[in-house]
Structure 1
Amino acid sequence: MEEQSKQAPPIERAIDHLAEKGYFIWDDFISLSSVQELRNLAETNREEGNFKKAGIGKQVLFQVDKSIRGDYIQWIDKVPENPVLKSFIQEITDLKEYLNQTCYLGLKDFETHFAIYPENTFYKKHVDRFQQNAHRVLSFVLYLNTQWQNGDGGELALYLEDEQKIIEPLAGRLLLFRSEMEHEVLLAHKPRYSVTGWMLDKDMSLTFLP
Structure 2
Amino acid sequence: MQEIHQDVLETAIDHLAEKGFFIWDDFIAKDEVSNLINTIKQDKAAGEFKKAGIGKQVLHQVDSSIRGDYIEWVDRQHPAPVVQKFINKIDELRTYINQTCYLGLKDFECHFAIYPENTFYKKHIDRFQQNAHRVLSFVLYLNENWQKGDGGELGIYPDKEEHIVEPVAGRLILFRSEILHEVLLSHKERISLTGWMLDKDMSLTFLQ
TM range (shorter): over 0.9
Out of 1, 8, 12, the position equivalent to 1:10 is 8
CA distance in 2, matches of 1:69, 1:134: 21
- Residue deviations 1:177-209 (CA, integer Å, cap 9, x gap): 000000000000010000000000000111436
User: Partner residue of 1:43?
Assistant: 41
Give the superposition deviation at 1:175: 0.5
2:156 alignment counterpart: 158
**1:104 counterpart residue number:** 102
User: Partner residue of 1:95?
Assistant: 93
2:53 and 2:206 mapped to 1: Cα distance?
18
Tell me the residue number matched to 2:189.
191
Q: Give the structure 2 partner of residue 206 of structure 1.
A: 204
Extract structure 1 runs of 4+ deviating beyond 6 A.
none
Q: Is the 8 A contact 2:75 2:87 kept in 1?
A: no
Q: Which runs of 5+ in 2 are unaligned?
A: none
Partner of 1:55: 53
2:181 maps to amino acid: H
Identity fraction in percent: 69
- Check conservation: 2:136, 2:177, Cα contact below 8 A: yes
Whole-Å separation in 2 of the counterparts to 1:69 and 1:115: 11
Aligned counterparts of 1:71 and 1:51: Cα–Cα separation in 2: 10
CA shift for structure 1 position 8? 6.5
Q: TM-score, normalised by structure 2?
A: 0.95
Q: Give 1:10 shift.
A: 1.2
| SS in structure 2 of the partner of residue 141 of structure 1 | strand
* TM-score (norm. length: structure 1): 0.94
Q: What corresponds to 2:29 in structure 1?
A: 31
Other-structure match for 2:18: 20
Shift in CA distance, 80/129, structure 1 to aligned 2, threshold 3 Å = same
Q: RMSD of aligned C-alpha atoms?
A: 1.3
| Equivalent residue pairs, number | 204
3-state SS, counterpart of residue 196 of structure 1: strand
Separation in structure 1 between the aligned mates of residue 69 and residue 43 of structure 2, nearest angstrom: 15
